[in-house]
Structure 1
Amino acid sequence: MASFDWRQHFTPFITYLRQSDQALWADLLTQQMTRRFEDNPHGDMARWQAALDNLPQVDGASVDLSQSAITLAAPGALDARQAELLEQGLRGLMPWRKGPFDFFGTYIDTEWRSDWKWDRVAPHLADLDGRTILDVGCGSGYHCWRMAGAGARHVVGIDPGLLFLFQFLAVKRYLGATPVDLLPVKMEDLPKDLGLFDTTFSMGVLYHRRSPLDHLLELKGTLRRGGELVLETLVVDGPEGHSLMPEDRYGQMRNVWFLPSCATLLRWLDRAGFRNARVVDVSATTTDEQRQTDWMRFNSLADFLDPADPSKTIEGYPGPKRATIIAEKP
């Protein structure tokens, strides 16, 4: 089994950065990837690499990025050995949290129905055709693929979770050169004030940040003038100025800091210097959208709600409700 060759996967993007007058970012990313994969490799890397290597070769694969499931198709049916290797490889990359995906007829029913979120958000977006997009906290890249399917010129997803990277690579290995990249870095690992992207998505990230205003300012710095921010986060009901800060956990999550009201969130965006901020969707998260499946066998939302009153979390806080806000950088 070969070790993970990060240069093979990231050199094309680093080259793209240099060609885009982003030499500073290219140099920084090279240093970060060296530290991540050579100086301090993750203990599960060999297992994930083995699962990726186990996936069968499928000649002539095609992809449909416009359906609910990211769908890979082959010119003909896989033979029994290919199907067996595919199942083994994909199972080796469990748990699958964001999706769904369909690999040549093997349907991955992920914990989250991420297509539902996309269906709520997509009608309110500026035309993505030809745009350069950043997806912060992208998970395994499901929404990145949907953005590419909507015509984006280049999509860059960032998420520090290395299992997400291998799940992303499981898709990309069948597509060859595609204008979608996933970088295993955090928001704070990016150069400040890039001013590079036409659209920046931050979905499911803000409530994990100790300083939400700093996150909004970081997001604004990634955008070109006139660029669009798509922000999705947990909210609570209440007037302007109201925000919930959990005592310890929220829905069993330790790293949840602030759940603002929609009016408070709009005020934050205004103070961070965005314009034309508007709430385009507010939806309660249900156990139909986030749940345990055969591809994610750990506890999920049903285990995090009060069994006597599922409108509340197990800690007694209001149950999860998510708002999507769109705003522009002046």
Structure 2
Amino acid sequence: MEKHKRESEFDNETFFEEYAKMARSVDGLEAAGEWHQLRPLFPALEGKTVLDLGCGYGWHCRYAAEQGAKAVLGIDLSEKMLESAAWRTRSAAVTYRLCGIEDYEYPENTWDCVISNLALHYIADLDTVFRKIYKTLKPGGTLLFNIEHPSFTAGVDQDWIYSEDGKILYWPIDQYFMPGERVTNFLGCIVKKQHHTLQQILMGVLNSGFTLKAVEEAVPPEGMMDVPGMEDELRRPMMLLVKAEK
């Protein structure tokens, strides 16, 4: 694994251990509330090459291999995540590399599909990343990403407002049109993310040369409504799913 300049919150031992307890960390894609919407957006991957930006545990890398992708590269900034991904992976088609999204070289006309799940909201300069992704995709290639929704990243402390007896009242939004760093407390740790408006995200994709094919806001499936807290996810969007083609 090569050295990198940036650091990942996921290499914080406390944060990593708490994240590992989440349902999506334990049970994978089927436990992710957005998967029922994200899966149909994938293009046919048989014989294709796939780049996963911020691959984490490698769930989407392994899914791509299961769908017949001939070569899959997952990059991530976290050594702990990549160690876990490698341990979980049996397919020879999948390789992992310690590398930040901003630091990858994006070789021209190389990949058929670039995917990114819940990683781009850590990136300050999305426009540059979108342009690099466009360059590295083959003609007709697909960009598919899931990013925290602007309504979520603009949330004050990314938490609800509660009544005195602990009941959820509403989700507060502030400084929506002021993009930049947001510092939150997630899983007992301080986590830094980047807020982007909806216009910045979608126009960043379009201005890079892509054609938008789908824009969806994640809605938990009916079958997950019995999961604690999931019903409250219907009160505001948490994730934004975007599919675009070169």
Same fold (TM over 0.5): yes
- Correspondent of 2:142 among 223, 228, 232: 228
Distance 1:146 1:99, change over 3 A: farther
Amino acid at match of 1:249: V
Q: SS of the residue aligned with 1:129?
A: coil
Alignment partner, residue 170 of structure 2? none
Please state how far the C-alpha of 1:235 moved relative to its aligned partner.
2.0
Contact 1:98 1:139 in 2 (8 A): no
The answer for the alignment partner of 1:84 in structure 2 is: none
The 3 A distance-change label for structure 1 pair 114 and 246 is farther
Which of 47, 59, 67 in structure 2 is aligned with 1:142? 59
Cα distance in structure 1, aligned partners of 2:182 and 2:102: 24
2:92 alignment partner, SS class: coil
Q: Give the RMSD, CA atoms, in angstroms.
A: 3.6
Work out which of the residue numbers 173, 184, 194 in structure 2 matches 1:257.
194
SS of corresponding position for 2:114: strand
- The question of 1:272 aligning with 2:189 is answered no
- The one-letter amino acid paired with 1:179 is A
User: 2:41 aligned with 1:124, yes or no?
Assistant: yes
Q: What secondary structure does 1:256 align onto?
A: strand
Question: What is the match of residue 283 of structure 1?
Answer: 218
CA distance in 1, matches of 2:21, 2:75: 16
Alignment partners' CA distance in 2, 1:117 and 1:99: 13
Can you give the 5+ residue segments of structure 2 that lack an aligned partner in the other structure?
5-10, 152-175
Are positions 1:152 and 2:69 aligned together? yes
Query: Which residue of the partner structure matches residue 298 of structure 1?
Result: none
Mean Cα displacement is larger for which, 128-137 or 208-217? Answer: 208-217
CA distance in 1, matches of 2:203, 2:143: 15
**TM-score, structure 1 length as denominator?**
0.52
- In the alignment, is the contact (CA less than 8 A) between 2:149 and 2:239 conserved in 1? yes
For 2:173, the equivalent position in structure 1 comes to none
Q: Map Cα deviations across residues 81-115 of structure 1 (whole Å, 9 max, x no partner).
A: xxxxxxxxxxxx955267758xxxxxx457x8654
Q: Does 1:327 align with 2:244?
A: yes
Structure 1 partner of 2:88: 171
Equivalent AA in structure 1 for residue 217 of structure 2? V
How far off its partner does 1:194 sit?
A: 3.1
Count of equivalent residues: 204
SS of 1:257's partner is: strand
Judging changes above 3 Å, is the alpha-carbon distance between structure 1 residues 265 and 210 closer, same or farther for their aligned structure 2 residues?
A: closer
| Percent of matched pairs sharing the same residue | 21
User: Which protein, 1 or 2, shows the higher relative CO under an 8 Å CA cutoff with sep ≥ 6?
Assistant: 2
Normalised TM-score (structure 2): 0.68
Tell me the residue number matched to 1:184: 98
- How far did 1:181 drift? 1.0
SS at match of 2:116: strand
**Structure 2: distance between partners of 1:186 and 1:245:** 21
Give the Cα separation in 1 of the matches to 2:121 and 2:82. Answer: 23
Contact 1:157–1:183 under 8 Å retained in 2: yes
Instruction: Specify whether residues 97 and 155 from structure 1 end up closer, same or farther in structure 2 by C-alpha distance, changes over 3 A only.
Output: farther
1:147 match: secondary structure:
helix
AA aligned to 1:204 is: L
What are the within-5 Å matches in structure 2 for residues 1-330 of structure 1?
33=2, 35=3, 94=17, 96=20, 108-109=26-27, 115-172=32-89, 175=90, 178-236=92-150, 243=177, 245=179, 248-250=182-184, 252=186, 254-261=191-198, 263-279=199-215, 281-283=216-218, 321-329=238-246
